[in-house]
Structures are given as structure tokens and as C-alpha cells.
Amino acid sequence: MPARSRLLPLYGLLCASCAWAQSAAPEPESVGDRFARNNAAPGIMLGPWKISPSSRQSVGYDDNIAYAAGDAATASPIAGLRGRLDIANEDGPDSLTLTAEIEQTWYTDASQFDHFDWSAEAAYGAQVSDYVRIRGTLGAASAETADATTDGIVIGGSFDPYVDLARYTRVPAALTLVFDTGRWQAMLAGEIVWSDYDDRLTAGGVLVDQSFRNGANSDIRLRAGWRATPGASLFVEGGANIQRYDDASADSDGWRAVAGAEFAFSRLLTGEVFAGYAAQSFSGGGEVTGLTYGAALTWFPTELISLTLTARRDFGAERTAQDAGGTITAPVTRDSVRLAAEYEPLRQMLARAEIGWGQDVYDGQDRRDERFFTGLGFDYVFTPRVRATLDWRYEERTSAVAGDATRNLVRLGLTTGY
């Protein structure tokens, strides 16, 4: 799975399957969201504007920085410094939020991985009429991260994996139009993401051009729904995507049609489920089709605990460069499932845990790559302006092509805000 697919959610580009059904009572709030709201720094108020600057200092250890297999793994203590600025105006039914963030990461035993990242985003929401609301986002980001996939180059029939971090620049834009009469709902959502990757280095010392990953991905979705009861809605949704790259042999087009339900049972179990059919075809030949599904469920067993289950099947491709030029495009069916828990044992403490699994099945090949991850985290608030965080994450990959790899990352941070 390309890094692009995993990182889109870090920038809040679009939640096309969000819970846009409205009701008189407020939507249930997860333990983590409530904890963040109750312990947020007061910020600086200038009329309707709230300005919230913050900074974070962190130290930790990464035992496989580039998530590489075997002897290619590189370990090092790490240190990070991040600055962030949030500006929000939520006066009345409309809202405008501006966010900017910069971060420097140092690896004391592997300075070749040192990097500087930045991101910025503007998000706007407006109530156009009693029944119509519009939302939009525009952002830009430059970051460096481990791919955690089977990306690499084929040399003489053998796979030579990347051993560096993927450095990319990305510009996302999204627009969503929601119509809701209380009984009938409709949503039209579109997004486009332009990405540009720096060249990558393999274990064999080959510098690989990334033109097969540079380009624009666009997606459009149309959903129509009917609220059967105050706590349950039924919907159908259709969508299409167009992926265009500098290397045209990596281009693809896809579509999907699904039906599902969105619900809030006794305000203890909320979320949505859907299933349907999808297809993705590739300019270089090949197509993958079949059942697609998804679920996003949150259970509130007590006021202090929330559990979230997400599962999804998508169709895509792995694009692998060759030393002779061109790329190999292999259709892939991707399944993933994740369970996350949040627990607030004290008003000033939040505990977090997650576990997940995923697999990529390659169409026409006897190949199946699997992934597993788990993690723990703790937030402790000394004052609304000062909090400490401790995070640990373990990742494991099994691949007959790229090799098996594991990664442990632990970080201790101190966040201060005004």
C-alpha cells in the first residue's frame, strides 16, 4: 500500500462516510474527544477568534527507522521538536479553522534520517440554508516517513527494497455538500490530492525515480439516505476515482456502489456499516473486482470507556519500478481491521490502546502480504497548558517478496500550550 494511502487521514482531507444524520440530542462523544475538550488550553481570544499556539518536545527510540527487512534495519534514539498554531472562528453556524505545524526530528545514531516536516490546512463550514451545509478543506504538507510496504525495485528478477524514508510533498483539496431535511439526506463529496515524491534509495544502492507515484488522485462520491427512525438511517452510495501519474503506465480508474446503514442505538452503540461491489482497472492491463465492505462502530460500555472497531476492503495496486525502465502494476485486494480503546481512569489521565491486522492479496499471483500492529499510549494533564504523553507502537510485516520486518517505536513527550 503506497504511503499516500496511509497518510491521507493524518491531514483530515475528507470523511466521505461521516455521520451526517442530525438529531435533536447531541452526538455521543468518545472518551478521547471529551478528554481533549475538557483539558484544552484556554488559548487567546480576539473577538470571535480563538488562537491556540502549542509546542511539543519528545524523546524516544526507534529500532527500525525505515521499517526495512533483515540486516537493513537501522536503530537509533530519537528527539523531536514540534510547533503548532490553531486559529478557529466558530461564531454562529459557520466555522473557519486554520492550522499550521512544523516539526524537526533528529536520530542521534543515524543522522541520515534527520528530517524537517511541515503542514498547513484551512477548513471551512457554512450553513447555506435550513437544509444545506457545505464544507471544504485546502491543505499542503511536506513530510518524511517509513513506507511500511513492499515498495522497491526489481533488478534481474529479484526485489531490492527501499531502505530510506519516503519524502513527499502533497496538496489536498476537498469539498462536501450535505442536504438534510430530517427524513431525507444526500451528500456529494469530492477530493483531489496532488503528490510528488523524492527519489528513493534501495538496499542495493540504486536511486529510483518515483514518477509512477507522482501525480493527482481524484475521488467523487454521491450518497442518498432515508432516516427510518430517529436513530437509524439507510443509504446507498456510488463513487468513482481517477488516478493519474507522471508515468502513465501506473494510471488507473475505479468505481464502487454500496448500500448500508447508519445508526445510534440507545446512544451506546453508534456508527455505520456498508457493503457492495467495486472495481479498479489499470492502463497497463489488469483489473480487480469484487465485494467491498466497511464498518466504523463505536461502543460506549461506560462513561469512562469507548471502544472503536473499523474494518474495510479496498481495491488498488502495487506499482514496482524495474531497472530496465517502466513499472510493474499488480492489482491488489486490501483488507484491514482495527480495534481501539480509550479509558479515562482519572480526570487528568487518558489511556489508549489499539490492535490491528491487514492483508494484501495480489490478483493473478500466489502472493499474500500480511501486517499486524499494536500500541499503547497515555496522556497525563498537569494543567490545561501542560501535558505529558507516552506512546509505544509495534509493527510486524510478513512478505515473501520484501521480507519479514518488525518495528518498535517508543516516545515520551511534553506538550505546552497557551
Q: Please say if the pLDDT value at position 243 is more than 50.
A: yes
> What is the spatial distance between Cα 259 and Cα 242, in angstroms, rounded to a whole number?
22
What is the reported pLDDT for 7? 37
Asked if 194 and 303 touch (Cβ cutoff 8 Å), the reply is no
Q: Which of 104-108, 129-133, 276-280, 400-404 has the lowest mean pLDDT?
A: 400-404
Burial class (CB in 10 A: 0-12, 13-18, 19+), 281: middle
Burial class (CB in 10 A: 0-12, 13-18, 19+), 266: exposed
In eight-state DSSP terms, residue 78 is E
Q: Please say if the pLDDT value at position 329 is more than 80.
A: no
Comparing 268 with 144, which gets the higher pLDDT?
A: 144
Q: Please say if the pLDDT value at position 51 is more than 50.
A: yes
Q: Please say if the pLDDT value at position 150 is more than 60.
A: no
For residue 98 the three cell numbers come to 486554520
What is the reported pLDDT for 263? 86
Compute the average pLDDT of residues 21-27.
40
Provide the pLDDT confidence category of residue 267 given band limits of 50, 70 and 90. Answer: low
**What percent of the chain has pLDDT above 70?**
89
Q: How many CB atoms lie within 10 A of CB 365?
A: 11
> What is the spatial distance between Cα 262 and Cα 137, in angstroms, rounded to a whole number?
24
Q: Please say if the pLDDT value at position 340 is more than 90.
A: yes
Burial class (CB in 10 A: 0-12, 13-18, 19+), 158: exposed
Q: Please say if the pLDDT value at position 194 is more than 80.
A: yes
**What percent of the chain has pLDDT above 90?**
63
Q: pTM, whole model, 2 decimals?
A: 0.84
Compute the average pLDDT of residues 224-246.
92
For residue 323 the three cell numbers come to 531497472
What is the reported pLDDT for 159? 77
Compute the average pLDDT of residues 328-351.
91
Q: Please say if the pLDDT value at position 94 is more than 60.
A: yes
Q: Please say if the pLDDT value at position 403 is more than 70.
A: yes
